[in-house]
């Protein structure tokens, strides 16, 4: 498994570099976030040994178990929470993670700010946008982004970095790129209000190439790195 993960990382990094070049961007402007939900601590250890630093998790209980198993590597790993956030899970997220991509309401942002330990740097956060308007997806509507962003920047223990989305799965280069283009346009509109965001978290294994062409700065890749995800209950 370690050699396969290392090979997959190399393939994905090469694709990121190629798409960055196609977009007229430096490959260093795109961060690879390895989505490790449902994969073991050993898989994360193998990816880290191959040079991967940032890992994304969706489920608090699962993530805490891996953090415990990988504690000796804590200062070398950047942990990102990318799943829906329940109110009773905010303290652990505020205490254990470096980034949160999935803020979709002010109540959650306030709890994270209040519960972020003062000895840690401010928690980097993104507003999740329901870019495809799916009833089953978390995220604010495009019309709600600016108001929520303005409220979050006033919270003392958070650093608002940008926007995140999980578009509805589609096929075709142009169709895949459309929701990413829309998120970038919304990002530009929010930044026109002097909010100084720098992060677009968009694109997964099936569409990160299209996301990079539209301006992604973080791509969240799991299957292309670790293989098909085993089913687990949480």
Report how far residue 156's alpha carbon sits from residue 168's, in angstroms, rounded to the nearest whole number. Answer: 34
pTM summary value: 0.94
The partner residues of 128 in beta bridges, in order of sequence, read 164
User: How does DSSP assign 44-106, residue by residue?
Assistant: HHHHHHTT--EEEES-HHHHHHHHHHTGGGGGG-EEEE-S---GGGHHHHHHH-SEEEEE-SH
68 neighbors 40 (Cβ within 8 angstroms): no
The rounded percent of the chain whose pLDDT value lies above 90 is 88
Which pLDDT does position 171 carry in this prediction?
61
79 neighbors 98 (Cβ within 8 angstroms): yes
85 neighbors 122 (Cβ within 8 angstroms): no
pLDDT tens track for 85-142: 999 999 999 999 999 999 999 999 999 999 999 999 999 999 999 998 777 788 999 9
Which pLDDT does position 229 carry in this prediction?
74
The answer to whether residue 234 scores a pLDDT higher than 70 is no
pLDDT tens track for 20-33: 999 999 999 999 99
The answer to whether residue 210 scores a pLDDT higher than 70 is yes
pLDDT tens track for 40-96: 999 999 999 999 999 999 999 999 999 999 999 999 999 999 999 999 999 999 999
């Amino acid at each position: 498994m370690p050699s396969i993960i290392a090979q997959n990382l190399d393939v994905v990094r090469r694709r990121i570099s190629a798409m960055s070049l196609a977009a007229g961007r430096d490959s260093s402007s795109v961060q690879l976030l390895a989505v490790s939900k449902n994969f073991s601590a050993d898989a994360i250890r193998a990816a880290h040994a191959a040079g991967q630093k940032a890992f994304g998790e969706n489920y608090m209980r699962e993530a805490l178990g891996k953090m415990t198993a990988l504690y000796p590597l804590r200062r070398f790993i950047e942990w990102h929470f990318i799943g829906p956030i329940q109110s009773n899970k905010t303290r652990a997220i505020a205490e254990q993670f470096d980034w949160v991509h999935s803020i979709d309401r002010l109540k959650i942002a306030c709890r994270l700010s209040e519960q972020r330990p003062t000895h840690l740097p401010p928690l980097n956060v993104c507003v999740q946008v329901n870019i495809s308007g799916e009833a089953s997806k978390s995220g604010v509507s495009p019309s709600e982004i600016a108001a929520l962003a303005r409220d979050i920047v006033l919270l003392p223990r958070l650093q608002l970095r940008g926007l995140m989305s999980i578009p509805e799965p589609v096929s075709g280069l142009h169709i895949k790129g459309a929701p990413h283009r829309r998120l970038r346009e919304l990002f530009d509109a929010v930044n026109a209000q002097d909010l100084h965001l720098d992060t677009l978290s968009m694109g997964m294994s099936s569409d990160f190439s299209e996301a990079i062409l539209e301006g992604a700065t973080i791509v969240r890749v799991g299957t292309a790195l670790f293989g098909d995800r085993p089913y687990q209950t949480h």
